[in-house]
Amino acid sequence: MPTPTFTPQAMRWLAAHHGIISTPRLRACGVSERAWKRATHDGLLVPVAKGVYRIASSPMTVEAQCVVLSLAHPTGFVTGPTLARLLGLRRQPRDRRIHYSVPHGHELVLDDGVVLRQSRRVDPALDIRVRRDGIRMATPWRLAFDLAADLSARDHRSVVEQMLHDRMCTVGQLAQTGKRLVAPRRPGSKRFLETLSQRLPGGPIESHPELEFAAALQARGVPIVVQQTWLDLPNGARARLDISVPDIFWGVEVDLHPTHFLFEGNAADRRRDRQCHLIGWQVERVTGLDLLDLDTTVDELVALYRRRCAELGRRSA
């Protein structure tokens, strides 16, 4: 009876690492050199980098490409738009190349599908994590810094707010990263500092449309806070407002989920608005569709804010 090409340990490794395995790992999994060379000759293993192979039955996905780079160049890490998309972060460019960062001075020969990024400041303990599938990746705070060189100012702010909202990192970790990495000629440094310095009062902003409305209102002088104001309603429920000016009991809700447009969702919104009115709060509602005419919508909100100030005898900003 012929000896199986791959041991159970090797098969488990391949299954957990997107079909990618290295020569040292083959040995550690009990696969002899003769066996893997025969598998390569027979087309069962496909060389994809020096000392790195892909099992032929496994597709070369983005994750698999990241594992290949991680095994072939173990001082580096996946970062930029590539890692952002793997983590489900929004507002990313249509760049499907793999962004891989290595310490400065490492000269690598890579194919056209890889963007090599070099950095003089890489602290493995602070900047790199290794996923269970073998992908070496930037820590969230390092990723936030690296993305500053890839995104527009508004998109970078949006992504950082998403990372904070999803508890991938803290403001303190971002601040420490800025102290460590910001330098006059380092790409993204200025944008990273601007993102942190321009954060709105309150908690992290949940969605990009909320950021758009909040930033536009702030630019018009409305002294808002975001994701911070909780209301105890007469019916015993609690409500958190997306955007608010607590001093005049005025808020804005950004309704994005499709349920807001259905009968039951709309009825629940109206019921909540009535509960807010009972405790003296005026709440305006906008949707993602209002972003199509952002200036007009913001003009209306500013007018409503000023009228609310006048009703309460307060001076508007």
Looking at the domain that runs over 208-311, which CATH code has it been given?
Answer: 3.40.960.10
- Measured between alpha carbons, how far is 15 from 204 in angstroms, rounded to an integer? 37
CA dist 40 to 35, 37, 71, 199, Å? 9, 5, 18, 54
CB 82 within 8 A of CB 97: yes
Maximum CA extent, the chain: 92
Say what the pTM is: 0.88
Strand spans (E) along the chain: 20-22, 45-49, 52-55, 77-78, 98-103, 114-119, 128-130, 136-138, 225-226, 230-232, 238-240, 243-245, 250-255, 282-287
Domain ranges of the chain: 8-58, 63-197, 208-311
Q: What is the pLDDT of residues 221-236, one digit of tens each?
A: 999 999 989 999 999 9
Helices and strands of the chain, counted as H and E runs: 13, 14
User: What residue type is assigned to position 160 of the chain?
Assistant: V
State the pLDDT at residue 225.
95
Token pair for 96: 């499907």
Residue 1's pLDDT is what? 32
**Residue 228 in contact with residue 202, Cβ under 8 Å?**
yes
Give the pLDDT of residue 263: 47
For residue 259, what pLDDT is reported?
55
Low-confidence stretches of the chain (pLDDT < 50) are 1-3, 260, 263
Predicted pLDDT of residue 3: 45
Gyration radius (Cα) of the chain, Å: 26
